[in-house]
């Protein structure tokens, strides 16, 4: 008996020293949502030219929030929406087949986006769940940032009751807006994780150079047409989607072998 106990202790210490993965987290299968969102985009639908590696999916309940079926249904809707949106522009978004569930924490009662993004990122790294540039996190407060992971909130009554209004801080940005405004945030943050930037990063001094030739320089008239600029217009304006340089940039990272460039752009000069 004592020998078994000693062996168990040694095994535990060894596993920690080697950085062994933690016990399996709770998960649920990615499936077809009961009430999918119908996406309408004015841009012509492009033929498939590329695909992402399978993306890791996380459902992160913070603080006193509890993991629940309303959130799970909301996540299913968002996953289909993200996939449908990028497929319209020719990029197949691939997911792992399950969503990992994490009952986590944030360091304070009222989340602050920049701080909580890095707190949650470190927490997922500690649990060995983060796959850099390939992880989408749906969390139970309003948040939006995308880089090593896409961190986005859930648009449902559970989130709304905490965020609209926030005690002593007023409303989250989407409170009082049409429900669709929040869906655009998910598409936007996933775009950042996939490598897209805000269009105004491209100026006359630093234009974007297309793979097919030509240059892109941001024009304020493009703002309403870009989910990477005005994601609050998503669903309200069918013109709100990706700009040609966004599609070309994604093509440069995720194209299939032999796939032809999906866009051909003339110089803005």
Query: If residue 86 lies in a helix (H) or strand (E), which one and from where to where?
Result: helix 69-88
Closest CA to 180 of 242, 241, 234: 234
| pLDDT for res 267 | 57
CA-CA distance, 199 to 92, in Å (whole number)? 22
CA-CA distance, 252 to 49, in Å (whole number)? 11
CA-CA distance, 262 to 243, in Å (whole number)? 12
pLDDT-above-70 percentage for the chain = 82
Residues facing residue 153 across a β-bridge:
139
CA-CA distance, 243 to 2, in Å (whole number)? 67
DSSP sequence for 9-62: HHHHHHHHHTTPPPSPPPEEE----SSPPPP--SSPPPPP-EEPPPEEEEEEE-
| pLDDT for res 140 | 87
| pLDDT for res 18 | 35
**The overall pTM is greater than 0.75:** yes
| pLDDT for res 155 | 80
SS3 state of residue 85: helix
Identify which has the larger pLDDT, 248 or 158.
248
CA-CA distance, 160 to 140, in Å (whole number)? 9
Contact 179, 157 (CB under 8 A): no
Closest CA to 16 of 25, 8, 27: 8
| pLDDT for res 16 | 38
Residue range 235-262: mean pLDDT, rounded: 95
Contact 256, 91 (CB under 8 A): no
Residue range 87-113: mean pLDDT, rounded: 84
Identify which has the larger pLDDT, 177 or 115.
177
Segment 192-248, tens digit of pLDDT: 999 999 999 999 999 999 999 999 999 999 999 999 999 989 888 999 999 999 999
* Poorest-pLDDT segment among 17-21, 128-132, 200-204, 228-232: 17-21
What is the DSSP-derived secondary structure letter of residue 214? -
CA-CA distance, 14 to 190, in Å (whole number)? 37
* Poorest-pLDDT segment among 51-65, 84-98, 139-153: 139-153
Closest CA to 104 of 134, 141, 135, 143: 141
| Angle between helices 244-254 and 180-194 in degrees, nearest 10 | 50
Identify which has the larger pLDDT, 38 or 16.
38
Segment 84-96, tens digit of pLDDT: 999 999 999 999 9
| Confidence tier at 12 by pLDDT (50, 70, 90) | very low
Does residue 109 surpass a pLDDT of 60?
A: no
Burial of 97 (0-12, 13-18, 19+ CB in 10 A): exposed
* Poorest-pLDDT segment among 28-32, 69-73, 115-119: 115-119
| pLDDT for res 169 | 63
CA-CA distance, 226 to 228, in Å (whole number)? 5
| pLDDT for res 29 | 95
List the 95-103 sheet strands across, edge first. 27-29, 95-103, 55-61, 135-139, 149-153, 144-146
| pLDDT for res 23 | 44
CA-CA distance, 128 to 20, in Å (whole number)? 9
């Amino acid at each position: 008996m004592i020998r078994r106990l000693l062996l168990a202790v040694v095994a535990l210490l060894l596993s920690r020293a080697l950085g062994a993965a933690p016990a399996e987290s709770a998960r649920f299968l990615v499936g077809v949502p009961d009430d999918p969102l119908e996406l309408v985009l004015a841009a012509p639908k492009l033929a498939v030219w590329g695909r992402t590696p399978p993306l890791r999916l996380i459902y992160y309940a913070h603080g006193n929030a509890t993991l629940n079926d309303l959130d799970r249904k909301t996540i299913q809707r968002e996953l289909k929406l993200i996939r449908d949106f990028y497929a319209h522009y020719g990029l197949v978004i691939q997911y792992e087949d399950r969503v990992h569930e994490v009952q986590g924490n944030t360091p304070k009662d009222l989340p602050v986006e920049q701080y909580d993004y890095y707190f949650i990122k470190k927490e997922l790294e500690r649990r060995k769940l983060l796959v850099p540039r390939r992880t989408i996190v749906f969390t139970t407060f309003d948040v939006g940032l995308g880089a090593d992971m896409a961190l986005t909130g859930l648009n449902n009554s559970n989130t709304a009751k905490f965020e609209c209004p926030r005690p002593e801080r007023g409303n989250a940005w989407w409170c009082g807006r049409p429900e669709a405004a929040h869906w655009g945030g998910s598409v936007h943050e996933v775009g950042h994780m996939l490598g897209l930037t805000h269009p105004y990063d491209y100026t006359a001094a630093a234009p974007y150079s297309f793979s097919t030739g030509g240059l892109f320089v941001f024009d304020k008239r493009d703002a309403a047409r870009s989910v990477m600029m005005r994601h609050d217009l998503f669903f309200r304006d069918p013109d709100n989607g990706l700009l040609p340089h966004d599609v070309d940039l994604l093509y440069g990272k995720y194209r299939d072998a032999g796939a032809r460039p999906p866009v051909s752009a003339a110089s803005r000069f």
